Amino acid sequence: MNSNWLAPFSSHQSSLPFKKLSELFDFAQFTTWPNAAGLNRLKRQSKADVNHSPDFICQSQLGNNEDYYEQYIFNHHRIPTRPDNWHDFFNGLIWLQFPQTKRLLNQLHIEDITQFGLHPRSHRRNKLTHFDECGVVLAIECGQHENAIQGRMPELLRQHEWRQVFVDNRRQWGATIHSFMFGHANLEMLLQPFIGLTGKWLSVEVPSGFGDLSGFEQLALTDQLLCKKITDENVFAQKNGLFPLPLLGIPDVTEASEDPRYYDNNDYFRPRSKYHGK
């Protein structure tokens, strides 16, 4: 990875989210920014479900089209992409990893736009946007008995039991608890990480042995289960359907987290009683 455009990405190669992306996609083939054409090439090369992922189109090629962003994707089956832009590049990579869920979110946006108009945004569209930008998906393998830590992990996360989550059960991360960045803004901000960086998580239960699957096999199953969860539980219509997750607390995202004392920072790893988010 010697291309100048990749320099910020390459400097964080040891960070888990970027390591996963490098294992899935061949970025070294591009000597300049991939942009829309490059994302289309990655789509053809990948083992993703290309039937669910629209093509990408450069923003400059839209002409005088007046469709709102979500409307354009829905109506034209293409994703407008700004050139030389990390935010849109990462958004494209999320489409290639979670095509069914991204299409579902787009459909839900359109349903609310049709019912309530573009402005002001509905409560559900605000939630959809928040998860689309900052979401984290946790695929948790089924425990062998009801007291297995995997089964209790969602509640520990909801209660901000950060030391139990990240320190006492650190070995479970990557073994039976698998994290996937869904929010493309998360990835952009992780290029310049800072204490305070926080995502919103949703979890799905996956079968034992999930970790033995290939990267795209894991993604395909997670994508399917995430769609089902969002639909069955009407997640984004709930008042408190999303919960915070300190991104730099996830094992292997930053080297600093290898020291258990790192999690003593209560301003970042806030106890539940001190959190006032929605």
Mean pLDDT for 244-256 is 98
| CA–CA dist 86, 184 (Å, integer) | 9
| % of the chain residues with pLDDT over 70 | 93
Provide the token pair at 153: 């992990």
Mean pLDDT for 14-33 is 96
pLDDT in tens, 80-139: 999 999 999 999 999 999 999 999 999 999 999 999 999 999 999 999 999 999 999 999
What pLDDT score does 78 carry?
96
Tokens 């998906």 sit on residue:
137
| CA–CA dist 197, 51 (Å, integer) | 34
**pLDDT at 240 exceeding the cut of 90:** no
Predicted model pTM: 0.94
Q: What is the mean pLDDT of the chain?
A: 92
Confidence of residue 66 (pLDDT cuts 50, 70, 90): confident
Three-class SS state of 1? coil
**pLDDT at 52 exceeding the cut of 80:** no
End-to-end CA gap in the chain: 40
What pLDDT score does 276 carry?
46
What pLDDT score does 21 carry?
97
| CA–CA dist 269, 262 (Å, integer) | 9
Q: Residue 196: in which H helix or E strand, if any?
A: none
